[in-house]
Amino acid sequence: MSDGDPLDRFGAPGLDVGGAVRALRDTFAIAGIEAASVEARILVGRVLGLDLTGLTVGARRPVAVEAAERLVAAARRRVVGEPVQRIIGSAEFFGRAFALTSETLVPRADTETLIEVILRRFPADERFVFADLGVGSGAILVTILAERPGATAVATDLSAEALETARTNAEAYGVADRATFVRASYATALAPDAFDAIVSNPPYIASAEIDTLDREVRSHDPRLALDGGTDGLDAYRAIAPQASPILKPGGLLAVEIGWRQAAAVAAILADAGFEAVTVTQDLSGRDRVVSGRRGVEGTRSQGTTAGGAK
């Protein structure tokens, strides 16, 4: 490290918690990390086992050599572009912490718009069954189940590791007994006329645009969860016709989208027979969710299967 590098402070005697936070903050600021102070507190808190109150109250507490070495290692990972959520192995979403693996996306605040669409549709005391297609970490699945005690769900994903991560997160919040996990591509293994709602945050980045994304995303999020094909719309073309037969008449399909994809995705849903197609904006005022209802005379599959899965 060069002279004057803030990480050199970790080798000095008498380093305390407050000094560790300041050293990481300065390191991240030099690296151009926007939320330098926040990320410094997150990493120090995780390594030392302290919450925000503990970081403040214990600011003069000495930092052990072993902990200092772990903080330096974490800081070096962060300044070369690894997201803080990957370093600590979890991410906050809708007020809950979700474990992550290399096969799952880091959940982002934009996706809370998708949650809100479902929560507005189904009151807290209503019983309903939904499917989460491409469940990933389970952030959407677990949040809906936790917020709506009357809900049950089926979650699908192509990745066995993602399904196991989602199950682990569901167990952590006490909702796993209301969820079934199925390894499948979107809705291909799900039974007809079984669901009141379907949610999905599918891959929607055009293949050629992935290498232009922030390095935190392009180098650390799984490509399978990002790549939406040539125009970013492949997943919606698959999901819409699969979703209609497995929804009950009047059932709701809600999908997250890239903010410039609303018209195209709305047209895909309409072409698949969905009615009352609606675009919902996120808190930044950007189009974020497209939803629609299966018509009463919607497409039906042949045969029946119990339990929501074929």
Rounded to the nearest 10°, the torsion over CA 170, 197, 201, 271 is: 160
User: 10-29, pLDDT tens digit by residue?
Assistant: 988 899 999 999 999 999 99
Share of the chain above pLDDT 70, in %: 95
149, 167 contact by CB (below 8 A): no
Task: Looking at the chain, list the stretches that DSSP marks H as alpha helix, in order from N- to C-terminal side.
Answer: 17-30, 36-48, 52-57, 65-79, 84-88, 112-121, 139-147, 160-172, 215-218, 234-246, 262-271
Q: Over 50: is that where the pLDDT of 301 sits?
A: no
146 vs 258: CA distance, rounded Å: 26
The mean predicted confidence, pLDDT, of the chain is: 94
Q: Pick the closest to residue 39 from 66, 21, 65, 64 (CA basis).
A: 21
pTM, rounded to two decimals = 0.91
Task: Give me the residue label for tokens 């996306």.
Answer: 105
Tens digits of per-residue pLDDT, 155-206?
A: 999 999 999 999 999 999 999 999 999 999 999 999 999 999 999 999 999 9
Name the residue with higher pLDDT: 2 or 79. Answer: 79
Extended strands (E) in 121-208? 128-133, 151-157, 179-183, 195-200
Contact 98, 90 (CB under 8 A): yes
Which residue has tokens 């080798």? 11
Domains and CATH numbers, the chain: 6-80 (no CATH), 91-308 (3.40.50.150)
Task: Identify the residue with better confidence: 299 or 78.
Answer: 78
Q: Provide φ and ψ at 101, rounded to 5°.
A: -135, 180
pLDDT of 94 strictly over 80: yes
Tens of pLDDT, residues 198-254: 999 999 999 999 999 999 999 999 999 999 999 999 999 999 999 999 999 999 999
Determine the pLDDT at residue 59: 96
57 three-state secondary structure: helix
